[in-house]
Amino acid sequence: MVITPLRRKVLRDLARLWPQSLAIALVLAAGVATMILGNGAYSALSDTRARYYDTSRFADVFADVTRAPRALLDDVRAIDGVLAAEARIVKLGLLDLPEMVEPGTILLVSLPEGGGAGLNRLHLRQGRLPDPQSAREMVVSEGFATAHRLSPGATLTVVMNGQRRDLMITGIALSPEFIYALGPGEMMPDPRRFGIGWLPRESLAGAYDLEGAFSNLVLVLAPGAPIERVIADVDRLTAPYGGTGATARADLTSHAFLDAELKQLGAMVHVLPPIFLLVAAMLVNMTLSRLVTLEREQIGLFKAIGYAPRAIAQHYVEFVLTIAILGIAIGFAAGAWMGAGLARLYARFFSFPFLVFSNDPRIYALAALVTAGAAVTGALFAVRAVLALPPAVAMAPPAPAEYRQQGGTLWRRLGFRQTRIMTARHLMRWPMRTLSGILGVALSVAILVASLWSFGSIERMIDITFFRTERQDVQMVFGQPEPLRAVFAARQMPGVMVAEPFRAAAAQISHRNLLRKVTVIGRPAEPRLSRVLAPDLRPMDMPEAGLILSETLAQVLEVRPGDNVTVTFLDGARRSLTLPVSGVSVGYVGLGATMDIGALNRATGGGQMISGVNLLIDPAGLEEFFDAAAASPKTGFIAVMGLTVARFRATLAENITVMITVYVALAAIIAVGVIYNFSRISLSEQGRELASLRVLGFTRAEVAAILFSELAVIVLLAQPLGWAIGFGMGLAMAGAFSSDLYRVPFVIGPAVYATASLVVCTAAALSALAVRQRINRLDLIEVLKTRE
C-alpha cells in the first residue's frame, strides 16, 4: 500500500506531538466514557427491571385492608380490566436474633395456595419453597440471609402476633416487590435489621387470626386498562373492610426509589458529556492553531506545488480524526468497563437476580459521531484562516507581533518587571486562546464543585432530619391503632424517660386538580421529640385546626399558608373535609402532612387512638427495654434512630465515594489536558524568546517562571468562573435529583470551592513539571535559527 506524502506527514506530526495528542485523546475519551457509562448503566437497570417484572408477573396494583373475606376476591377479579388477582396475608413480625440487642423486623408474606407460582413470583437463589402443609418452614430474602449468614436448614425465631415461633429456613429468594427493601421507619435499606419472609398461607392465617380472610391484594391489569378506574373500583370494594386505598406500581416504594436512581443517571448523561466535548473541541482548536501557524510556509508550499485547499484541510482533519479515533477507542473500553461495574453495583444494591447489560450499538455510534464532530469542528476553525492565504503570502513568515499597542507603558507605570510584561503581552496577543484556556480550566473546577456540594447537603439532611426534627431514641409502632391509654403503658416500660404519642392516618390531599396520597401524622400540641420545623428551623406548634404541609407537598399541590385543601381519610369513617393550610415546614424525606393529634382523631372519627409512641430511653436500660418491647403483643416494629443514622451515613458514603472518585479523575483529565496543551503551545510560540533569555544569562528556573506565570494567570482567573459555573451545575443537579421521595437541599460552603481549586491546582502543578522538563532540554542553537 502506497502512503501519500500528506499521510506520512500525519504520522510524523503524531509522533512529534504525542504528549499533546494523548492529552486531547484522554479528554475525548472521558466524554465518550461518560456518555457510555451513563447510558449503559441506565439501559442495564431499565432493561433488567423490565425483564424481571415481566418474568415474575409483577403486579400493577396493590391494596391493604384490615380484614376482608376471601369471597371478596371474586368481586375484585370481576372488575373490568383486571387480568389476575391474588389475596395475601402481609403482616409484620419481630425477630429475636442472638447477635442483635435491638429486635429486628421481618415482613411476613403468604405464598400462593397449592404451591403455585402466582403473582410476584419468587426467584429462588438457594433451597426450596416451604411445604404448603407446614407451619414451621419459611423462605427469607437474600439480603437478610447474607447479613446474618443464614442458609437453608438454619432456624429463625420470629415473634408473630406476640407468639414466638422457631421457623426453619428452606430457601433464600428474591422478589420484584422488594428490589429496594426498605424497612418501616427507615430511609435506607438495612438488611441486618429488616428482612422479608415468605410462609404458607395457613401458617400466617393461624398466627394472625385470618382464617378465611386476607389483608393484602395484588392485581395484574390487562394491557391498556385504565389504572385510575381500576383503583377506584378496588377502593370501593375494600372500603368496608378497612381498605386504606389501592396504589399503582409507580407509587410502590421499591419501584419509586429505582425510578429516582434512573432519573439521576439520566441527569448525569445530559450534563457531563457535553462539557468534555466542548473542552476537547477547544483543545483541538488550540493545538491545531499552533501547528498551522508553525507550518504556515509548508502550507504555502503545498499550495504552490498544486495541492488544493481541500486536500490540505483534509490532511489536518485526518490528523485530528486519528487523535479522535484513539480517544473514542479508549472511551469505548473505559465506558463499557465502568458501565458494567456501575450496573453490577446497582444490581447488588437493588437486589436483582440477574443483570441485563447490552452494549447498544446506537449509543456507541452516537458517542463516536458526536466526538468526531466536535474534534473536526475544532480543526476546521483552526485551518480556515491559513487556507485562505495566497501561496506567496503563506510561504512568507508571519509579521512579528506588534506589542507596542498592548499596554507596555501602562505596565511599566504600574511597576511590572519586564518578564511580567512579556507574560501580559503574550496572554493579550491571543485573547480567544487565553479565554478558551480559562474556560477549560474553569470547567474542571465546575465539575468538582458540582459534585463536592453533596457532602454538605447530606450533612444538612442528617442534621435537620435526625437531630432537629426526629429527636427520639426509639420509635415504637403498634401493630394496629391502640387507645390513648397505651402511651401510659409505654411510659412504664424499662428505661423509658419520655413517651410521646403519635397517630398516622392514610389520606388523600387535593387542591384544585392536584392530588397526592400521603400519611397524615398527628402530634401533641407542643411536640418535644418528633417535631416540625419552619423553613427558618424554628419549632412549630400544632395548630388547633388545619394542616402543616412540608415544602415539597406544598409545591406539588401549589398551595400556600391560608389556602384550603380537601382531605379524604382512607381509614376509619373515611371522612372527607376541607382544612386550611396553617403553615409550611422544612423536610427532605417524603411528602409530609402534620396536624394536632386530637384534631386528627376527631377528623377520622375513630376515637382517641394512637399509632405508636416516640421514646427517649435511658442508655443503661436500653437492653431491658428491647426485651420488653419484643415481648409485647402490641409491638409492630421498632425504629432505632441511632442505627438509622449510621446506616444512612454508611450507604451514602459508599455511593458518593465511588462517584466522587470518578468526578475527581474526570476533572483532573480536563485540567491536565487544557493546561498541558496551553503550556506546550506557549513554549513553542515563545521558544525563540525564551532561548534568547537563556543566551543572555537567565537561568532555567527564571525562564520557566515566565512560562509558568502565564499558566498561573490562566489557572487563577479560571477559579471564580469555575465556582460560578459549578454553583449553577450543582443547583441544576439538586433540582434534577429531587422527587416526591426525597428532596436534596443545596448546601455549598467555602470548603467545597477550596477543595475543587486545590485539586485543579495540583493537576496544573503536575502539568507544569512535565513542561519544565522540556524547558530544561531546550536546544538553544536550533531554536535560535531563523526561518528566512
Tell me the mean pLDDT in the region 713-734.
Answer: 87
Residue 681, in any domain of the structure: yes
As a dihedral over the C-alpha atoms of residue 286, residue 290, residue 291, residue 292, rounded to 10 degrees, the angle is 100
Residue 37, in any domain of the structure: yes
Mean pLDDT check: name the lowest of 404-413, 574-583, 761-770, 778-787.
Answer: 404-413
Tell me the mean pLDDT in the region 735-743.
Answer: 71
Residue 241, in any domain of the structure: no
Backbone angles phi, psi at 639, to 5 degrees: -105, 125
Return the higher-pLDDT residue of 163 and 741. 163
At residue 12, the pLDDT reads: 82
In the block, residue with C-alpha cell 507550518: 295
Please write the tens of the pLDDT for every residue from 420-443. Answer: 666 667 677 767 777 877 887 888
Whole-angstrom Cα distance, residue 424 to residue 60? 67
Confidence of residue 467 (pLDDT cuts 50, 70, 90): confident
Do both 53 and 134 map to the same domain? no
Tell me the mean pLDDT in the region 256-274.
Answer: 74
pTM above 0.85, yes or no: no
Do both 661 and 613 map to the same domain? no
Return the higher-pLDDT residue of 614 and 294. 614
Confidence of residue 788 (pLDDT cuts 50, 70, 90): very low
Tell me the mean pLDDT in the region 235-255.
Answer: 86
Do both 679 and 778 map to the same domain? yes
- What number of residues does the chain have? 788
Do both 337 and 296 map to the same domain? yes
Confidence of residue 75 (pLDDT cuts 50, 70, 90): very high
Mean pLDDT check: name the lowest of 409-423, 646-660, 757-771.
Answer: 409-423
Residue 481, in any domain of the structure: no
Do both 14 and 140 map to the same domain? no
As a dihedral over the C-alpha atoms of residue 516, residue 519, residue 522, residue 527, rounded to 10 degrees, the angle is -100
Confidence check: pLDDT of 292 > 70:
no
Return the higher-pLDDT residue of 83 and 320. 83
Q: Which helix (H) or strand (E) holds 635?
A: strand 635-640
At residue 687, the pLDDT reads: 64
Residue 639, in any domain of the structure: no
Do both 455 and 559 map to the same domain? no
What does each C-alpha distance from 296 to 265, 281, 310, 499, 767 come to in angstroms? 46, 22, 16, 84, 28
Confidence check: pLDDT of 286 > 70:
no
Nearest C-alpha neighbor of 294 from the set 222, 398, 162, 217: 398
Q: What is the 3-state secondary structure (H, E, C) of 11-70?
A: HHHHHHCHHHHHHHHHHHHHHHHHHHHHHHHHHHHHHHHHHHHHHCCCCCEEEEEEEEEC
620: CB partners within 8 A, 6+ apart = 495
Residue 102, in any domain of the structure: yes
At residue 734, the pLDDT reads: 77
468: CB partners within 8 A, 6+ apart = 531, 533, 537
In the block, residue with C-alpha cell 411445604: 131
Long-range contacts of 459-464 (CB under 8 A, 24+ apart): 459/747, 460/745, 460/747, 461/588, 461/589, 461/744, 461/745, 462/645, 462/648, 462/649, 464/533, 464/537, 464/586, 464/587, 464/588, 464/745
Tell me the mean pLDDT in the region 653-678.
Answer: 73
Confidence check: pLDDT of 138 > 90:
yes
At residue 787, the pLDDT reads: 47
Q: Rank 202-211, 333-342, 416-425 by mean pLDDT and report only the highest.
A: 202-211
Do both 446 and 510 map to the same domain? no
Residue 712, in any domain of the structure: yes
- Which amino acid is located at 172 in the chain? I
Helices (H), 534-640: 551-557, 597-604, 622-631
User: Which residues sit opposite 166 in a β-bridge?
Assistant: 157
Tell me the mean pLDDT in the region 101-122.
Answer: 82
Tell me the mean pLDDT in the region 675-683.
Answer: 74
Nearest C-alpha neighbor of 329 from the set 29, 22, 688, 692: 29
Mean pLDDT check: name the lowest of 271-275, 719-723, 743-747.
Answer: 271-275
Nearest C-alpha neighbor of 535 from the set 561, 557, 567, 501: 561
Return the higher-pLDDT residue of 689 and 183. 183
Do both 459 and 530 map to the same domain? no
Percent of the chain with pLDDT over 90: 20
Backbone angles phi, psi at 417, to 5 degrees: -70, 165
Residue 229 cell numbers, joined: 378506574
Nearest C-alpha neighbor of 182 from the set 350, 424, 391: 350
At residue 140, the pLDDT reads: 94
Do both 550 and 452 map to the same domain? no
Confidence check: pLDDT of 543 > 70:
yes
Please write the tens of the pLDDT for every residue from 554-564. Answer: 988 999 998 99
Tell me the mean pLDDT in the region 225-248.
Answer: 88
The answer to whether the CB of 346 falls within 8 A of the CB of 43 is no
User: Which residues sit opposite 86 in a β-bridge?
Assistant: 218
The residue among 175, 209, 243 that closes a domain is: 209
At residue 398, the pLDDT reads: 57
DSSP string, 536-554: TS-B-PPPSSSEEEEHHHH
Q: How many domains does the chain have?
A: 4
The answer to whether the CB of 66 falls within 8 A of the CB of 223 is no
Do both 312 and 386 map to the same domain? yes
Domain residues for the domain of 597 are 496-617
Residue 774 CA, distance from chain mean position: 43
The residue among 561, 582, 617 that closes a domain is: 617
Whole-angstrom Cα distance, residue 441 to residue 718? 6
Do both 272 and 359 map to the same domain? yes
Percent helix / strand / coil, the chain, rounded to 5: 55, 20, 25
At residue 171, the pLDDT reads: 93
Tell me the mean pLDDT in the region 448-471.
Answer: 83
At residue 268, the pLDDT reads: 67
The residue among 551, 582, 617 that closes a domain is: 617
Residue 198, in any domain of the structure: yes
Please write the tens of the pLDDT for every residue from 371-406. Answer: 888 777 777 776 776 666 666 555 555 555 555 554
Tell me the pLDDT of the chain averaged across its residues.
81
At residue 213, the pLDDT reads: 92
For 470, which DSSP code?
Answer: B
In the block, residue with C-alpha cell 458501565: 339
Helices (H), 208-308: 227-238, 253-294, 296-304
Q: Which helix (H) or strand (E) holds 344?
A: helix 309-349
Do both 53 and 97 map to the same domain? no
